[in-house]
Amino acid sequence: MRKLKRIHASKELSFYSIEGKVLDIPFYESNVPAGFPSPAEDFMDLDLNLQEYLVQHPSATFCVKVTGDSMQNAGIFSGDVMVVDRALEPKNKTIVLAVLDGEFTVKRIHKKGDSLYLNPENENFKPIEITEEIDFKVWGVVTHIIHKV
């Protein structure tokens, strides 16, 4: 069974590595309608390896537990676990884990002309313009969000 092992915690984020043996979960390769189901649908029983599905670059990927609600309109809620890949280059409008003046934050990166912004996904928070005075680094690109329903 795969386990998340806490490797670091800051005041807003907890960092985890993925440990343990691989867990394959039964996977039925069929679309499931949210309306009326079709009992005649053929189901093909496969296995889904969550690590293969969620992790493209194992040595550069880690999980981070979120606190706060600045990204709630992007479907990222306090308590969610983010899968972050440090091997990916951040692109315009992707969600990133960044370090601003020594503090971690999760925001959507946005390039507008010659300016760079970190935008929250909650109208109660303001965008952050990245200026020369700010110590800024992208730590990784958020590739998946895991949360309970």
Burial zone of 124 (CB within 10 Å; 0-12 exposed, 13-18 middle, 19+ buried) = exposed
Q: Which listed residue (3, 65, 93, 107) is catalytic?
A: 107
Owner of token pair 């020594």: 102
Q: Which listed residue (70, 93, 111, 115) is catalytic?
A: 70
SS3 call for 46: strand
- Give which of 149, 148, 141, 147 is closest to 62, Cα–Cα: 141
Element (H, E) at 53: helix 50-54
What does 99-141 look like in DSSP terms, one character per residue? EETTEEEEEEEEEETTEEEEE-SSTTS--EEE-TTS-EEEEEE
Examine the residue annotation and report whether 107 is marked as an active-site residue of this protein.
yes
Examine the residue annotation and report whether 70 is marked as an active-site residue of this protein.
yes
Residues serving a catalytic function are: 70, 107
